[in-house]
Amino acid sequence: MSEATDLVVIEKSNAMAVFTTKEQLDPIIEAIEKEARSLVPDVSTKKGRDAIASMAHKVARSKTYIDNAGKDLVAELKALPKQIDESRRLVRERLDLLKDEVRRPLTEWEAEQERIAAEKAAEEERLRIEAEEKSALEALKKQVEADHEMALLMNEAFDRDAKAKAEEAERQRIAHEEELKRQATEQAKREAEEKAERERAESARREAELRLKAEQAERDRIAAEQKAEADKKAAAEQAERDKQAAIAEEQRKAQEAAEKVRREADAKEAARLAEEKRKADEQAKREADVKHRKTVGTNIVNALTSHTNLTREQAKEVLTALKDDLIPCAKIHY
């Protein structure tokens, strides 16, 4: 959050309440107003003018501080949904991996059970074939016995031929039965091995996919963290630049305000001095005029007493009559 000022401090933990509750924001502004208006402005001294400029700067800093505090709070609230979505994605991916990891023994067991069931089915098929072959053999034996009974009625040569055929049939039967057993066993074994191999390949493929997903998730997490850090750094740098620019702008405005106040004060002082000089000049002019009139009056009185028989008091009365324009065709020129 922004750096605190001399007039106001907003705790980060309380920022949300300050900017969303009028009852908390008003006292802060009122405190700044009270502090600022408590200053009695005095532009007649440098110390007074500096105090005015300093207070104006404090108010400007407080405004920037409060505004930046609100801006920081808005930035945090905007970033919150992204953080939540990222956390949800990480939870989904990692728990999916964990689910597959936890279930792997059961998956492998189920595959083994399927292999055992396949072998059992192959064995049952072999037994079925053996039963059919045995039934056929029994039927053949019965047929042979019947043929043998018939052969007893034939000659010896026919008996030998029948016996040879029976032995050959028996040999072929045995060979055929052994071949069927061998083929059924090999078929069951091949199917079981092929299924086990498919299951091993599928398990390896799933493990490879899970590993790739985990690696990709880790890379995505690192990239997201790096991007978030870079964005945070860029935002902080931009905020600092904005802050410095705002401070510089407020300082410039405060300096301009102080210069304006100084110029106005200088103008008022110059006007006051000019007025005092005008009054002094007018007073001096009046005093000089009075002195001049007194000198002229004295010269007139002295001339009247010197050139007439008037006494000094009578000459003063004549002077008074002249000044009051009581004597026609006679006027004093000063």
The whole-angstrom separation of Cα 305 and Cα 327 is: 18
Average pLDDT of the residues in 59-87: 83
Strand segments (E) across the chain:
none
The 8-class DSSP code of residue 10 comes to: -
In the prediction, which pLDDT does 2 show?
40
Highest-pLDDT range among 86-100, 159-173, 188-202, 269-283: 269-283
Do the beta carbons of residue 112 and residue 195 sit within 8 Å? no
d(CA 290, CA 296): 10
The first and second tokens of residue 21, run together, are 């509750």
Give me the pLDDT at residue 147, please: 64
State pLDDT tens for residues 98-122. Answer: 777 778 888 888 888 888 888 888 7
Among 141-145, 211-215, 274-278, which stretch is predicted with the lowest mean pLDDT? 141-145
Kindly tell me the sign of the dihedral angle through the C-alpha atoms of 35, 38, 43, 47.
negative
Model confidence band, residue 1 (pLDDT cutoffs 50, 70, 90): very low
Q: pLDDT tier at 4 (50, 70, 90 boundaries)?
A: very low
Q: Which whole number is the average pLDDT over 199-221?
A: 82
- Model pTM above 0.85: no
Residues 126, 181 contacting (CB under 8 angstroms): yes
**pLDDT of 160 higher than 80:** no
Weakest-pLDDT range from 44-48, 56-60, 155-159, 281-285: 155-159
Residue 177 has pLDDT above 80, yes or no: no
Residue-wise pLDDT tens digits, 23-35? 888 888 888 888 8
Higher pLDDT: 230 or 179? It is 230
Kindly report the average pLDDT of the chain as a whole number.
81
Helix 46-151 and helix 156-307: axis angle, to 10°? 170
% the chain with pLDDT above 70: 90
Nearest one of 194, 231, 185, 264 to 86, comparing CA atoms: 231
Choose among 88, 309, 59, 125: nearest CA to 217: 88
Percentage of the residues of the chain whose pLDDT score is greater than 90: 1
